[in-house]
Amino acid sequence: MFETLPPSPPEVEVVIVHAPRLAPLGGEAAFSAVQVGPEILKTQPRLDEALKSAPGVSLFRRTGSGAANPTTQGLSLRSIAPSGAGRALVTLDGAPQNDPFGGWVIWSALPSEGLDGATIVRGAGAGPYGAGALTGTVALQERGTVDGLGLAEVSYGERDSYRVVAVGGGPGVLVTAARSESDGYYAVRGPRRGAADQRLKFSDTSLAFRAQHDFGGVQTALRLSGFQVRQGAGLSGARSEASGVSAALTLAQPASEGVGGWRLQGWVRMSDLENSSVAVAANRATTTPANEQYNTPAVGYGLNAAWQGQAGAANWELGTDIRLTDGTERERFRFMAGSFTRDRTAGGKTLVAGAYLEAALDQGPLILTGGVRLDRARAYDAERIERDTATGAILLNAPGPNRSDTLPTGRVGIRYALSEAFYVRSAAYAGFRAPTLNELHRPFRVGNDITEANPNLKPETLQGIEAGVGGDGPVHWGATVFFNRLKDPIANVTIGMGPGTFPTAGFVPAGGTLRQRQNAGEIEAWGVEADSSGAFGDMINWRAALSYTDAEVHGGAKAPQLTGLRPAQTPRWTVTGGLDVRPTEALSLSADLRYESMRFEDDLNSRRLSAGISLNARATWRFAEDLEAYVAVENLADEKIEVGETADGVESFAAPQTFRVGVTFRR
């Protein structure tokens, strides 16, 4: 007797839906662009650390987002930026991710697990990128929707650090949630560490939700997100907290194939920052409150639109965008007789609006591309009011001037493939970055060093040219030579040394330095960047990259003391490498190496940060197709990587050797 088997269940097609996007015009290959894919993102718990694998990417003070103050969490490309402000524009599916008040990027709000990858375009951005893309653009792509749980990871490491992240959803819905916490490490080590030095503790939480649907051929997506980051500053009584929410609504009707269609996107970002700093006693045994930035509400909102089409063999895109910011910092300072005696309110508004036309011609081995932009930048409605906290009397009322600038920019590029494995290319470009509300209006303090704001700042502008060669055979490789001239760079310029009392800034203690943000002449930089990757059979994959930048400041009449010096925080050499080995079907081994040559902490090149090298390693065992466990170690050799130095010679260092274990479910 035979039993009749039930019919097989019908196969269900899994449809992965990505955020609405227009097709690229095809001209990006003419510029210096590099991809950071899922294979790198999945090995790094923090996005900024993953982006460092690309040549030319530099974090301020060599410090990642697990320890860096929120106000320095941007990134710059090609080592020509002389301060903590990020000179690269970071976008997520077209929406800017830079903070409306300071231009920094809170990387904790962008878990690597929620992304498909990142495209890093080095060189000033014109065309669709617009304002802020001074040294390049980091275009992030959010991952597609999943049905059910797509990823879950739990990890635990030394110093009571843990991380939990999950990505899931359903048809047309994606949810990404992450939480991490750590007791942190001591940045100051050895005999110079005192009782005032504390661990760099941190905790962060982020949540993002995307829902999308096709309404009669119009792809519509709504993305909502929020984050909160709490961090210690490494000194007793000093801490920071950053929080924010954002929303982006995107409508698009791309062509069914290739280039064409339109996209309309509106976005809003609201953020807040609390930041307190302290003065440190000479023996580092005690601290005294210096200032308490207790509220920094800021809102940024904008609109961008693009229309694509074809004209014969050429593709074109016509677009416009507008960004507005409004922010105020509220701060207590001048601590005397056990309490703060002054209260400050400072802030203003900025607006940048522009239009562009970008075109590309792709004819077999030849690619031609070019674009022009015209922007109008305004800084207005500035205020700076300081009061006596006891009486409420106004002690300073300096509203600051209104300023407007009209800024034309553009870029052109050419690429010619001599064969399938060899191409040559060249590009020229111009870009700009308007000063942020943070640079215009917010003074800040780190230990005994004080930096004053400057409401008279004007936009930075950059012009550059580059040429490159490369190939895409069994070994992918590329090399680029570039020259950039950065005019009116915003730098933290030394204007006084403590002890002493100065106009506006007030008292600077012994061992402290007074700086002010200024447009410091210009910076010229030339350099080389190269990368390659390949495989040895099916078991071994490798990658290597390097960048060299020779940058020099020409301070001019405003800052002649800087002429001939190197911009602060800019290494000459950066070398990275990676190796992935799969000895068995279940076991994977990987290692990543990064070397940075020495850099200077300050504009006067008086504080030298030694060269540093770090090695990270990871071993993964796959139990099933979608389940694996891993052991990872960061800074395997426990190198002392110097990240800061005070005026009195106290050094601080990056994280020591750190082991971490985790379990990942991924499908």
Backbone angles phi, psi at 60, to 5 degrees: -65, 135
pLDDT tens string 355-399: 999 999 988 899 999 999 999 999 999 999 999 999 999 998 988
Q: What is the pLDDT of residue 209?
A: 97
For the cut 50, the answer to whether the pLDDT of residue 2 exceeds it is no
Question: For 186, which DSSP code?
Answer: B
Both tokens of residue 377? 């930048």
Lowest average pLDDT, out of 216-225, 279-288, 476-485, 491-500, goes to 491-500
pLDDT tens string 427-463: 999 999 999 998 998 887 776 778 888 999 999 999 9
For 93: left if phi > 0, alpha if psi spans -120 to 50, otherwise beta; the answer is left
Share of residues in the chain with pLDDT > 70 (%): 95
What band does 71 get if pLDDT is binned at 50, 70 and 90? confident
Q: What is the radius of gyration, based on Cα positions, of the chain? A: 25
Question: For 234, which DSSP code?
Answer: S
For the cut 90, the answer to whether the pLDDT of residue 556 exceeds it is no
Q: Which is nearest to 46 in space by CA: 149, 155, 160, 134?
A: 155
What band does 218 get if pLDDT is binned at 50, 70 and 90? very high
Instruction: Give how far Cα 320 sits from Cα of 26, 323, 378, Å.
Output: 20, 11, 17
Q: What is the pLDDT of residue 569?
A: 84
- Domain range enclosing 490: 28-666
Q: Is residue 158 in some structural domain?
A: yes
What band does 126 get if pLDDT is binned at 50, 70 and 90? low
Q: What is the pLDDT of residue 13?
A: 46
For the cut 80, the answer to whether the pLDDT of residue 588 exceeds it is yes
Q: Which is nearest to 229 in space by CA: 12, 348, 412, 70?
A: 70
Q: Is residue 209 in some structural domain?
A: yes
Q: What number is the average pLDDT over the span 329-339?
A: 89
Please state the pTM of the whole predicted model. Answer: 0.90
pLDDT tens string 406-430: 999 999 999 999 988 899 999 999 9
Give the E-state strand segments of 312-365 in sequence order.
314-336, 339-363
Q: Is residue 51 in some structural domain?
A: yes
Q: What is the pLDDT of residue 303?
A: 94
> Do residues 580 and 541 make contact, with C-beta atoms less than 8 angstroms apart?
yes
Q: What is the pLDDT of residue 361?
A: 93
CATH code (residue 92): 2.40.170.20
Instruction: Give how far Cα 312 sits from Cα of 289, 345, 360, 363, 413, Å.
Output: 67, 57, 11, 11, 19
What band does 520 get if pLDDT is binned at 50, 70 and 90? confident
Q: Which is nearest to 80 in space by CA: 509, 452, 461?
A: 461
What band does 38 get if pLDDT is binned at 50, 70 and 90? confident
Q: What number is the average pLDDT over the span 83-102?
A: 84
Map tokens 């504390």 to a residue.
198
Q: Is residue 305 in some structural domain?
A: yes
For the cut 50, the answer to whether the pLDDT of residue 1 exceeds it is no
For the chain, give the longest Cα–Cα distance: 102
Q: What is the pLDDT of residue 137?
A: 87
Both tokens of residue 524? 């010229």
For the cut 50, the answer to whether the pLDDT of residue 3 exceeds it is no
Q: What is the pLDDT of residue 58?
A: 77
What band does 16 get if pLDDT is binned at 50, 70 and 90? low
For the cut 70, the answer to whether the pLDDT of residue 102 exceeds it is yes
Burial 154-180 (b: 16+ CB within 10 A, else e): ebebbeebebbbbbbbeeebbbbbbbb
Q: What is the pLDDT of residue 400?
A: 87
Which helix (H) or strand (E) covers residue 38, if one does?
Answer: helix 38-41
Question: For 568, which DSSP code?
Answer: T
pLDDT tens string 260-316: 999 999 999 999 999 998 888 888 999 999 889 999 999 999 999 999 999 888 999
Measured in whole angstroms, the distance separating CA 451 from the mean position of its chain's CA atoms is 22
Instruction: Round the average pLDDT of the chain to a whole number and report it.
Output: 89
> Do residues 143 and 212 make contact, with C-beta atoms less than 8 angstroms apart?
no
Q: How many domains, the chain?
A: 1
Q: Which is nearest to 563 in space by CA: 523, 516, 518?
A: 523
What band does 473 get if pLDDT is binned at 50, 70 and 90? confident
- 586 or 420: which carries more pLDDT confidence? 586
Q: What is the pLDDT of residue 84?
A: 58
Q: Is residue 7 in some structural domain?
A: no
Q: Is residue 1 in some structural domain?
A: no
Q: What is the pLDDT of residue 165?
A: 96
Q: Is residue 8 in some structural domain?
A: no
Q: Is residue 262 in some structural domain?
A: yes
Q: What is the pLDDT of residue 8?
A: 45
Q: What is the pLDDT of residue 15?
A: 54
What band does 85 get if pLDDT is binned at 50, 70 and 90? low
CA dihedral 412, 262, 118, 128 (to 10 degrees): 30
Q: What is the pLDDT of residue 93?
A: 92
For 569: left if phi > 0, alpha if psi spans -120 to 50, otherwise beta; the answer is left
Q: What number is the average pLDDT over the span 227-243?
A: 93
